[in-house]
Amino acid sequence: MKYKELIKKLPTGWHQINLQTYQRVVNQEYYFELKEGDDEYSLQQIDNSLLTISALMQIDVDVLKGYSVPEYIDLISRIQWVNELPKPSTVKPAYIKDSIEVTLDNYLTFQALASDQFKAIENIKGVMDLFIKDTPSKRSYWFFKSKHADVPDVDSMNMIEVFTFFFFVQALLKKSLKRIQAKLTKRLMIVRMQQRLGLKPTLL
């Protein structure tokens, strides 16, 4: 592939990267044996940058090695955005549940499926099923045939949308957990009061 042709196809940000491409990039086997200051550290960095571009573009590393040094430098300058995580939108997706709709089972299953960022993204389809509204969104039209009509297909979501989903789910879980803790605290206070009055405590 000629360099000018590659540049035309090169993504300019996470908004142009889907989940499949992201997983291909992060699952690439990079080299981290050498530390900054070590001999040949710069060569290791070059190898890793070539692997990143190869994963992004699905192009063989040997093809990339055929570009000139000025072209390589220009190419690296164009993909600096990969060094930062995608920034989530500040607008909550309409298809995500409200805190009052989240169950304890949703919370526990999320903890099992998404113990870290990479595991969460790997299991995103299962995680999304936990937090999709059971009824059409108020911002959806009543004549949608599917109750999940406003939910994007996971495979077609870009990484801004994916990180936005997780950002709001985490905020949702924090709010739901506080609500559960408040209920438990109130229940405990009632039980203690019953004990003081000599009544048999009720568990529910």
pLDDT of residue 145: 42
Residue from 54, 80, 85, 84 nearest 67 by CA: 54
pLDDT of residue 180: 65
Residues 95-125: b if buried by 16+ CB within 10 A, e if exposed? bbbeeeebeeebeebbeebbeeeeebbbbbe
- pTM over cut 0.95: no
Q: What are the structural domain ranges in the chain?
A: 3-83, 99-176
Cα separation, 81 vs 73, whole angstroms: 15
Q: What is the pLDDT of residues 113-139, one digit of tens each?
A: 877 777 777 888 888 888 888 755 554
- Taking the CB of residue 195, how many other CB atoms lie within 10 A of it? 11
Residue with tokens 């570009």: 67
Tell me the average pLDDT of the chain.
81
- pLDDT < 50 positions in the chain: 139-149
Q: What is the pLDDT of residues 97-107, one digit of tens each?
A: 887 788 888 88
